[in-house]
Structure 1
Amino acid sequence: MNSKARITAIGSYVPNKIMSNDDLEKIVDTSDEWIVQRTGMKERRIAAENEFTSTLCIRAVNDLIKRYGVNIQDVDMIIVPTTTSDFAIPSTASMIQDAFGIPEAGAIDVNAACAGLTYGLHLANCLITSGLHRKVLVIAGETLSKVTDYTDRTSCVLFGDGAGAMLVEYDAEQPSFLSYIQDTKGSSGKHLYRTALRNEWYGEPLRDSEKMVQNGREVYKWATRTVPEGMEKLLEQANIKMKDLNWFVPHSANLRMIESICEKKGFPIEKVLTSMVYYGNTSSASIVLALDLAVKDGRVTQDDVLLLIGFGGGFTYTGLIVKWGVPSNIKE
């Protein structure tokens, strides 16, 4: 993989409001024990009434700028992976362009559900490596609490809100991207959806709802089969061994799912980065939130080799092996 792009900065933001498992016990038939046993989650962050995906994304970018002292006025493309855009039109990316007054930049949203962050990074790498762009801002953000059905005890315990930003720049000498994979199983889209203009699946009625609807069992079966296969392909393409990985950073969907994936691959759970325990499933934002937690506490350092893999609605997944290019001497 002849990449010419490097990840150079990271930032994140989560809302102040915390929804604990005890809080959920008060609104739905569940318990802390039941949630932890099945998901590993203890808390999730919930956006305020006046906070939307663009709000969270803007604050994540501000965090990136504050910590790394970078200039984003010469960014030439803004990519926002999200499933919860403020509006259908305009894009959340356009709103971020306006908030920072970035001149002459393209701006697009990417809807790849929980694979959004890895899709966004892959697109950034492609744009820069092709020579068409030199500096791309990727901001994954979600306000899933606004589309969560809090009467559905099996799914409402999962979702939280948050955003993370990553800067990708031209660097042919020390590129971050070592390998990538992508795959889609579109026939399974009916197992994880939110209706919009349609409420049927090729003649098959769907639940008519603006809320998230998920068949957790089908998602679990697909992920625990597909992700281990994807990990193997990524390692083979990069010509590295499992033992050479410093960290595995999967989408933080469910801790039990990740434990199953690691068991199948013989990968130590101690070398896995997640964000779901205190942030819940934040869809496209979960990987960048997990990464930034580890950057802040010093677990992830420059030149670490990371395997990132996002998977979810579509069904679609994208995986990357990256050499972490962000310097550790950040501003605080």
Structure 2
Amino acid sequence: MDYPFQTNIHQLEKEEFIDCLYDLFHKEEKEDYDSFLDMLYGKFGKSIVEKFLKPYNEKLYAVDLKTLDKDAMGRFFPYADIPAIIDNMKANKDSTSYNNSFLYPRNGAGSFIQILYDALDSSKILMEHEVVKIDNEHKVAQLDDGSKINYEYLINTSPLNHFLGYFEGEKFSALKNRLSYNKVLVFNLGFNKKSKFTEEHWMYIPDKAVNFYRIGFYDNILDADKLSMYIEIGYGKEDEITEQDVEMQLKLTLENLHKLGIIDDDTKLEEHSTIIMDPAYVHINTETEKMVQQFKAEEEKNGIYTIGRYGAWTYCSMEDCMIAARDLAMSLCQG
């Protein structure tokens, strides 16, 4: 099926389509929703939620959807009303999704970083060091080699749960423990030949019998002559991903790619690499969001700013992060 699922239910088998359409017409909307899951049922009805939205997002977030705020995905959640769905049935083409077309740098997102780096005095840039402690009272950051740096402003873009560990004090550790998120195991796979799927850029897989929730085709994006893919597998915050887990998931992934018809008996894995995103997606809920905003406001008085998707602990795009960085830089320069 084409994505978003909720605007393409006409592509389902007739009986399933009727179920979805009936439940959509008879959904029970409310002024206020208690959770992300509550919002899904209220906006889309039982069938759309239970056929795709609930199982997929449970695989993605690796958490009970009742614990997520109703606006956990912000503008990135593709809502659809009945008129839009009906219109899409006739046009058979969705033109409203936020990511159905986009521009991307020819040499990758690293191009932005390289341009910024080339414009700076490299003697004032310190690489391959890690901050291990921050004294926010005296404005001193300690590095992993024992050296200390005095700062006027400190701007953090690392994950907030890691950043909070650099401070001493109960309020910092309390907030760190409250933060919820998932981890994602990512495989990058290179095969000896193309797949029969030659047009798709990425796919969403709600079926819980399949270990991954999303897959993507680098070769189709880059017009390459061999299948190359990324595979994403969700884990909970407390889950430990061991070498044995990675080996097991790689084996399962290859089996499931074969079952789905993406690879066949003649398709051989030639290269692969593994990435563990920790954190991957932050879990946004109202109470924790208030605590995060309070922390940010208090530390800004001390010259400390934490921004970006992970630094600000939010669900946003790459361009949102770039705009936030530009705005902060302009504000500090003017101040």
The question of a shared fold, defined as TM-score above 0.5 by the shorter chain, is answered with no
- Counting strand residues as a fraction of each chain, which structure ranks higher? 1
Q: Which has the higher contact order (CA 8 A, sep 6+)?
A: 1
Question: TM bucket by the smaller chain?
Answer: under 0.3
Structure of greater Rg: 2
Structure 2 length as normaliser, TM-score? 0.26
Instruction: Write 1 or 2 for the structure with the bigger share of helix.
Output: 2
